[in-house]
Structure 1
């Protein structure tokens, strides 16, 4: 209530009140009202509200188009992301398969190397045993040859001491006749 009385008091003051009749060109309020109505009429005649509405509609359509484009870009980005994630999973699975195959191959190679080593060791052991047997046979032969040589020398010495010249000549003649019989 106080506000209404304040507004009426201000309207009644000479600065806010019109001097003279309301419908008069000397009344500034009336002139301002006429100017305002002419301005609004010109705006309506020039279809400014329609232009403003059209501009707002065009702007709304632009925003809607940008939102649609953003939505399609987002969907495309999600599709690409899903594709990359799928490819990443495939690559990870493939790398795991490669690692598994490499481990299996390394295991097989290790087992093959062990087998090859066993075979090589067996060959070397066999070769060493053959060399030992050959060395033994050679040593036995050398010992026999030396024993024969010693025995022949000892027999020669014994025979030389016990044999006379006549017995020696008889042995030589007997050996010659044996050789002649065998050769003919």
Structure 2
């Protein structure tokens, strides 16, 4: 059985309706979901445990709310602690073992899609704001996947959240299916 690892970086997950709906839907995909904020409330990342977790995964998903056009601080701290170790200190024994694994970003934004357009309140498309993560994936040899983007996260009603969860679960299922096909080739 192949494994999808979802690293959830939400500074206030307990109050998040959208990220919670996504995580609950992902649970139906037999994914390992790790609430990184709950695991590391002090921001001190256990790089040994995280390296083991990444190497054991067949697919990696970074799930988070976009905050001020970027990722939550804990995701950046995780990158600094874990990926710096894997790719600049222990590449041969750790970093190269991630080569080719798919990386999916699942990001939620509070505003509507029109706000993420030229002339919109946020000026740039949300996908463009995620380009540093795409560059990270490239540098780490991870197979970048088209991001799963959620807009209007704070205003979504229960019906919309259920639909988002269903779309996310379907996306994760396709990702798993494509990974199995690629691994068998």
Q: Same fold (TM over 0.5)?
A: no
Between structures 1 and 2, the one with greater helix share: 1
Return the structure number with greater relative CO, CA threshold 8 A, min gap 6: 2
Q: TM-score, normalised by structure 2?
A: 0.15
Q: TM-score, normalised by structure 1?
A: 0.15
Task: Give the structure with higher Rg (CA).
Answer: 1
